[in-house]
Structures are given as C-alpha cells and as structure tokens.
A and B are shown apart, each in its own frame.
Chain A
Amino acid sequence: MPLVKQGRIITDLFVHVADGAELPGDGAILISAARFLEDPEAILKRAGKTGVIWPNSRAVDDLVPYLERLAAVALVFPTFRDGRAYSQARLLRERHGYDGELRATGQILRDQFVFMTRAGFDAFEVKKDADADAFAETMKRYSVFYQPTGDGRVTALNRRMQLRHSESAGQ
C-alpha cells in the first residue's frame, strides 16, 4: 500500500508491529492503542520513534498526555463511509496542538484527500496505486473553501470581505 506524505509517495519508515509480536529494539514502530496504553512510558523510552494507531471509536482524550512524544498518530477509516476520524483529526490538530505525522489508514481513496488534508492529515496509506499517483492532481481540484479549519485556508467569506475591504480602501 503506497504511503503519500508531503504530497509525494515515500517509503514507510514505520514498521507495523502486531499486538502479540515482539518490539524491535530500535527503529520507528506503529502499534495499536491498546498495546501502547498498556505501558506507554516503557514504549516511549525505546530507542526509535513511536506511532500509535488510534481506533475511531475511542475519544482521543486518552492519547493527549503523550502527544508531544509521539512521532505519528494513525487514524482509521474502516470504510470510507465512516467519518469519525475526521473529527478526531481536527481535535488532535486544532484543539490539542499535535504537530507530528497524522496518518490516514484504512480505506483511503483519492476522493477523500481534500477532506482529509483540510481536517489535518498529512500522510495517507492509500489503497490504490492510481489514487496515490493522482495525489498532487487531486489536491488541486478545489480552490474555494467555505469552512475555516486548522489548515489555515482562507474561506470564501473571508476572501469576499478582504476584497470588499481593499475595494473600499482604494476608493
């Protein structure tokens, strides 16, 4: 499954470690929330980055105390019609100030890229190669946005008001 980050297809440096499996001594790992919460301090002491896969059915509050020490949070879209992770992403980014990698996993198609980046995702485990290839093109699809989100894009309303302001200033 290709990983798109910062707009490019890259090699995933994180190793998914299954719940029963032994943790490698170093290197970046991605583990389940359940495993992480068993002993977060021990895991965070490891040499190597830690990423946590957070289920979309659990409030992100429990993850908040560790955010500063996490290198990646992966949120899950079990099917692309289940949009809970959009809310989780915005909360992590906008309310809790998380600035590490925010990865979208599960059923990820090109048709969600714009929504996802607007919600704060910056890494995508994309299901189809063609969709990963089309990332840059897909991101150019929209130039107008109605809602303010943490991505900082200026909304249509604000653009109109700026325009009006500069027009009246120029008079």
Chain B
Amino acid sequence: MYAYDELDRTLINERVSEFRDQVKRRLSGELTEDEFKILRLQNGVYLQLHAYMFRVAIPYGTLSSKQLRRLAHVARRYDRGYGHFTTRQNIQFNWIKLAELPDALAELADVGIHAMQTSGNNMRNVTSDQWAGVAPGEVEDPRIWSEILRQHTTLHPEFSFLPRKFKIAITASEHDRAAIKIHDIGLRLHKNADGETGFEVLVGGGLGRTPFIAKTIKPFVHGRDILSYVEAILRVYNQYGRRDNIYKARIKILVHELGIEKFAREVEEEWKLMGDVGLTLDHSAIEEVRSRFSYPAYEKLPHMPDELKQAAADPLFERWRKNSVAPHKVQGYSIVTLSLKPVGGPPGDATADQMDAVADLADKYSFGEIRVGHEQNLALPHVAKRDLPQLWRALDRLGLATPNVNLVTDIIACPGLDYCSLANARSIPIAQELTRRFANHDTADMIGRLHINISGCINACGHHHVGHIGILGVEKNGEEFYQITIGGRADENAQMGVLIGPAVPYAEVADVIEDIVEAYLALRDRPEELFVDTVKRLGVEPFKERVYATR
C-alpha cells in the first residue's frame, strides 16, 4: 500500500475546498453550466440520465480496507446503497446530489481518496495491473511508477486542458492485465541488456469510434527519464492534437495521421530540446516513492497446508479455488479474485454491505488490502492458503464466490441505456440474460476462458472491441440492435474483434451468443484451444455461417 503523507493529504483537501467553492458558484448562478461543466468533469461529476454521476479514482486499483469502508459509507449516505466498479479502476455512484458532493468528497479525502481527473480532457487516473506487487515473475512493483505518474499528472499546469482525455496504463508482467495497448500511452516495465529498469513506451491506442492498438514509439526509456519522455509526448499532443472535432482529438488520431515514425521524431526532438528541466528522477527520488509503499509481513508458510488438502474434498470449494485463486509470488499465499458477476446481476455492482464485508475480510485475511481490476472484479491480494476454505465460506455467504472468473459469465458491461445519457441500447440486461443462459458451471467450465464485453454505444466504455466476443448497442429506427464482433483481446496480444455480420435485435442477442459458443465447441481442435485462438485459426466465416444461416 502507498501511504499518503501530509503533503498528499493537504493537496486533496485543497482540491475539495476549491470544488466546494465551484459548486457554490454554480448554485448561485455565478458560473454558467457551460463553465461549470468542465470544472465538475475534472472532478468526476457527470450529468447523467437520472442524476449526477460521481466517479471516484482508485489509483492503480489499490484500496485499503479503511478506504473501502468509506466508499461503502458514501454509497449508503449519499447514494442508494451501492456502487459500480468500472473498467478504469474507478467506482461510480449514480445518484448523488450536487449540493452534497463537496461533503462526500471531503469524507473521501479523509481517507486519501479523491475524484480528481476521473473525467474531463486531462490525464486520467493512472491504471495498472490489479495483481501488481504480488504477481509471480513481475519485473518490479509497477505501482511505484504508477504513483510517480499519478503525482506528476495530478493538477498538471500544462496538461489540464488537453484536446481530449488522456489515459496511461502500466504493466510489469509478461502477461498484460492492464490492457496497455488500448491506452493513449501504454508503459511496459522491463529490463534492458544492462539490467537497468525502463519502459517500452506505446502510444495511440484506444477504443471508441475509431479503435486503434497502440504502437511502440520507443522500445526502452530509462526509468529516470520516464517523466520527461511522457511530458514530451503530451506537449506534442497538446500543440498538434486536433481541437476542431472531438471525434478526432484523441492522440490515436494524431499518431495515425502523422504516422508513428513522424510522431516519434517530433517527440524525440521535443524531448532533446527539453534538456534538464528537473524531471529526471534520480535514485533517491525513486527510492523516496518506493519507501512509502508498505508490504505485508508475510509468514513462512507451507506450499500446501493441511487446511487446503482437507477442503479439496469439497467439490464446490475446489471449483471456486481452481477458478478464483491465482499463484502469489510468496510461497503459501495466493491472490483471490472476488467475482462481482453473480448470475442475473449487473456486472461490477457492489452493495455498501458487501463493500463493508469485503473490507472486514481484507483485514482478516489479506493484510487490509483490496484490489480493483479492469474486468470489474475485486481481489484480495495476500491470502494465506490455509485461510482459503474459511474465506470461501464467507464470500459465498456474501454472494461473492461465483466461480466464473474469466469464464463466459465474467462479462464486462458499461451502464448502457439504464444510466447513460449517451447510450443507444441497454447493456446490463443483456449481460444479465447471458449470465442466466450460461449459469451452468460445468458448461461454462467446458467452454473455458471466454470474455464477453458489452457497450451501449460506440464510445466503448465496455471495451466491446477487445472482447473475445464483443457486443455493441446501436440504434435502428428507434429500436435496440447489437453488432457482434469476435476475436478481440486486450492482453499482450491485443487485437480488435471482427464484425460477423448485420446487427441483431435485442431479443436475439443471447441466442446469437449461444450459437457462436456452440460453433466454437464444435470447431475447436482440442478442449484447450481457447475461443480466441479458434477464431484466429479459422477466421470469422464459420461463426458467421452458423449465426446467419438460420436467421
């Protein structure tokens, strides 16, 4: 965990008092809605279909139990008793009153949580691997770098009014759980031939109307130079990014229009001209940030404790363990994913009571730490293996032990038409219907890893382009239709899905997905071949045939 000190706390409090003043000026009419809009967006406040929506940052997805309890409190006191975890390691509240927002923010600031730059045309909450610091084999804890970047990008005086929003993601593992290739800047921490730590820097990824996979702009930037290099990229983007058309204002369009080579030259030139402007991170600066991360005092534990051996007799436990428990870098510990995808539930929702209970479980079993992943699930990052059976029973009582992580019902979905004013179609009810269709665990297990991602419109908040199966809501003559893509993925081999054919009406979506899955089961060349790999091998044609032959 990173511990905020007096300076971090002072800054968040100062931001709260500034926002309090801005809200007051809006309520008195001193600020027009047009002026206020940008100011509130910089603090995560949207005006949605029914009410103000409030998006709170969870930098690189790490939360303390105290912080989670406070989020539960905000859900209960200021909202309707639940929150919605998003694909950007944020939590959203859908029913907040504007006049009460400053108080909610102040209560969050108390525990080191803020909503700065969770929206608006600035540098957004830096995201990272939800298993950072505990995943076996990672180069080093990427959160140190995420935190360095979090600080640097917070209230940055040059980049708070960019052409568009700007997202940075960092991974330090070979297997990319941070989806860095669909971010404006993706950073992959690795070591060069001399054993020095640095970053492969990728730019220009993103989803939405014009999806792109990020391209490598520089294979290695030394860790000490990462701030100046990122700053050079942003400066070029701030000056040359299009502002005439919001659909073309993202850096991905600039990179695409200039070409990566030309863009890279511009950045390189800017970077050289910058010289030494105090952005170089010497060893002591990096150590200063590193020193404020604390790590659990792990015990020396056996690899296979008796408790686990005994519990293995219970098939329900075993099913959950196989699905939700991942290896930890420390022997005797594991990482436990808590599914926020119960059958029939809206993906990513958690009630205030669940949040409180998870906080208690984190205290009891995970050194008080919780993680939020972009798949809209939570994780307890340091669970002793001997505690797994007890933890499972507790999670099961809370409805958080659905053994479907990474399976067909572990669906990512944006709020869609139920909450979002930009939506063309519903997302949540589609997700709910699909979780019912595939509720049988044995079937889901047989299908294997399969990611379904749903967005209610082209903005792609549900990452539909990179779902193994992507579902995109579109509107036709006032009715909800859905385009289906297959073969997308957001990992280290990120790729956009390919459209299989004409959009289908709401009522047929679940049938179509079932058809696609059946086609896969018939087409895969062995049970281990993942859905995406079958699609890669065969292309979309056989799936298209299966879906449209009878329609």
Contact = CB atoms under 8 A, between A and B. Distances in A.
Contacts of B35: 80, 109
B159 interface: yes
Contacts of A83: 158-162, 238
Contacts of A69: none
B39 A111 contact: yes
Nearest to A121: B157
B445 to A, nearest CB: 47
B152 A86 contact: no
B534 to A, nearest CB: 46
A130 interface: yes
Interface residues of B, number: 38
Q: Is the interface of B mostly helix, strand, loop or mixed?
A: helix
Contacts of A86: 157-161, 238
Interface stretch (B10-18, B93-101, B128-136): B10-18
A1 interface: no
Contact of B11 (A109, A118, A144, A149): A144
A165 to B, nearest CB: 9
Nearest to B275: A95
Contacts of B47: none
Interface string A99-135: 0000000000101001110110000000010100000
Interface stretch (A4-12, A36-44, A154-162): A154-162
Given A94-B277, A115-B160, A157 B289 contact: yes
Interface string B5-42: 10110110010011000100000001000010011000
B364 to A, nearest CB: 33
B158 A149 contact: yes
A78 to B, nearest CB: 9
Nearest to B39: A111
B158 A80 contact: no
Contacts of A143: 10, 14
A50 B471 CA distance: 60
A164 B289 CA distance: 12
Main secondary structure of the interface of A (DSSP, over half): helix
Contact of A164 (B7, B8, B288): B288
Interface in B444-491: none
A59 interface: yes
B278 interface: yes
Contacts of B22: 111
Interface string A17-36: 00000000000000000000
Contacts of B243: 82, 84
Interface in B424-456: none
A147 B8 CA distance: 13
B157 A149 contact: yes
A81 interface: yes
B155 interface: yes
B550 interface: no
B161 A144 contact: no
Contacts of B331: none
19 contacts: A81-B38, A82-B161, A83-B160, A84-B238, A86-B160, A95-B274, A111-B18, A114-B157, A115-B155, A146-B154, A147-B152, A149-B157, A156-B151, A157-B285, A157-B289, A160-B288, A161-B284, A161-B288, A164-B288
Given A146-B154, A147-B156, 15 more contacts: A81-B38, A83-B161, A86-B160, A95-B274, A114-B157, A115-B155, A141-B14, A142-B18, A143-B14, A145-B155, A147-B152, A148-B277, A148-B278, A149-B157, A161-B285
Interface of A: 59, 80-84, 86-88, 90, 94-95, 109, 111, 114-116, 118-119, 128, 130, 141-149, 155-157, 159-161, 164
- 10 tightest A-B contacts by CB? A83-B161, A118-B157, A148-B278, A144-B11, A115-B157, A146-B151, A156-B7, A86-B158, A87-B238, A144-B7
